[in-house]
Amino acid sequence: MSVFTWGDNSNGQLGDGGPGSRATPTGIAAPDDIRQVEAGSGHVLVVLDDGSALSWGRNIFGQTATGGTDNRDRPAPVRGLPAPIRSVSLGGGHTLYLLADGTVWASGAGFFGCLGDSAHQISPVPIPVEGLPGPATQVVAGGGHSLALLADGSVWTWGRDDYGQLGDAGELKPGHATQEHMGKSYPVRFIPARVEGLPEVASLYAGGGQSLALLADGSVLAWGFNDCGQLGDGTTTHRAAPAKIDALSGVRALAGAYHHTLALLEDGTVRAFGLNDRGQLGNGRTTNSSTPVATLNLTDITAIAAVGGGSDAEPGNAGHSVALRADGTVWSWGCNDNGELGDGTTESRATPVQAAGLSGVRHITVGGEVPQFRENPGGGYTVALA
């Protein structure tokens, strides 16, 4: 296996030890036995076949769990976990670890309770998420909130809740509090609680402030932040409880950015909705859409990823989207200020373009800025495993 990175490198997230952004994919030194690679807001983590992990990039909150809070410009071992890692998910300033024994651990920023406790503002060492009643099968890190799918099929959330992203339907559940951060007050929940009323959930997804559940029948429920229509329900109304996206069916996978969302359909095509000022939806236009629109010129897609989109108060001027085709090529669209589309330019694109010189890619992931963590958040970047 080989890891390729491109785009913004202001926090060392390209992992090649060098300064400056890259507008074309560049291979980095990494082990051959990589099972998973994921990106967050300026950091990257790879899980190896034996359940150990390496991480690099932005580390101001200790989100890489590599020791201390200094940024890392090359892969370094993740420390402090008591069992092998099954999977990971990287958020705005925190990392979630699902271990082989089904327990969930977290490191990094805990400002909004997204580590699952009230004691830690930051934790460079992974800590257990308390309050989950059984083993988890999936963990998902959003911009400032967290989700877990348990083996019994239930969905649990914790963290930031100012847009309803925890799915509590307005109920103040145990652990709910007000958190001060950077001069603002945020409603949060430090303790995991169950999202009620969900039918059979196949998998979970999150963006900066939206939460998404893909059901076993291929339909989608969404809740949380919706300022640009990223919930896909035809409105820009925030939702505190899961609601069906009526215009979507036959969905295979989802990807959430801060202000836009992608859906991969069973027929290998892509739908997108939300912010589109830099072409993030890939439909050849730059106007937002609160209902799903077709991303142009994409067929035989097997995976999608999306990230970024600017601040809560001023969305826009950031965010890109990526798709992996069955032939192993990578296609990207949206903001390209840092070369995150990988086509050798810094020109933003409203329709997909192919990343230069890549073939045989098996997995893609993207990272970029998340507004609530503004201390040098950096710009967009892309990582591919080939």
Report pLDDT digits (tens) over 363-381.
999 998 755 555 555 689 9
Q: What is the mean pLDDT of residues 228-244?
A: 98
Phi and psi at residue 208, to the nearest 5°: -60, -45
DSSP 8-class letter at 310:
B
Identity of the amino acid at 208: G
> How far is residue 225's CA from residue 238's CA, in Å, rounded to a whole number?
5
Report pLDDT digits (tens) over 247-296.
999 999 999 999 999 999 999 999 999 999 999 999 999 999 999 999 99
CATH 2.130.10.30 fits 3-385, yes or no: yes
Boundaries of every domain in the chain: 3-385
DSSP 8-class letter at 70:
-
Judge whether 90 and 63 are in contact, CB under 8 Å: yes
Q: What is the pTM of this model?
A: 0.97
> How far is residue 371's CA from residue 277's CA, in Å, rounded to a whole number?
17
b/e code 75-86 from CB counts within 10 Å (16+ = b): bbebbebeeebb
Report pLDDT digits (tens) over 307-343.
987 666 667 778 999 999 999 999 999 999 999 999 9
